[in-house]
Amino acid sequence: MCADVPNGTAEPSSQVKRGSFPRSARLLRHSDFERVYKQGKRHFATHFTVFYMRRATPGGPRIGFTVGRALGGAVDRNRMKRRLREAVRSHCLDESVSVDVVINPKKSLLRAGFPELLEQTKRAFDVVQKFQKKAETNS
CATH of the domain at 91: 3.30.230.10
User: What pLDDT is recorded for position 23?
Assistant: 85
* Residue 51 in domain: yes
Please report which residue ranges of the chain form alpha helices under DSSP H.
Answer: 30-39, 74-90, 114-138
User: What pLDDT is recorded for position 2?
Assistant: 54
pLDDT tier at 46, thresholds 50, 70, 90: very high
User: What pLDDT is recorded for position 17?
Assistant: 53
* Residue 67 in domain: yes
* Residue 46 in domain: yes
Q: Is residue 129's pLDDT more than 80?
A: yes
Q: Is residue 54's pLDDT more than 50?
A: yes
Identify any residues that bridge with 138 across adjacent strands, giving them in sequence order: none
b/e per residue, 32-66, with b = 16+ CB within 10 A? bbebbeeebeebebebbebbbbbbeeeebbbbbbe
* Residue 58 in domain: yes
Query: What is the pTM for the complete model shown?
Result: 0.83
* Residue 114 in domain: yes
For range 105-117, the mean pLDDT: 95
* Residue 115 in domain: yes
Q: How many domains does the chain have?
A: 1
Range of the structural domain that residue 108 is part of: 42-138
Is 87 in contact with 53 (CB distance < 8 Å)? no
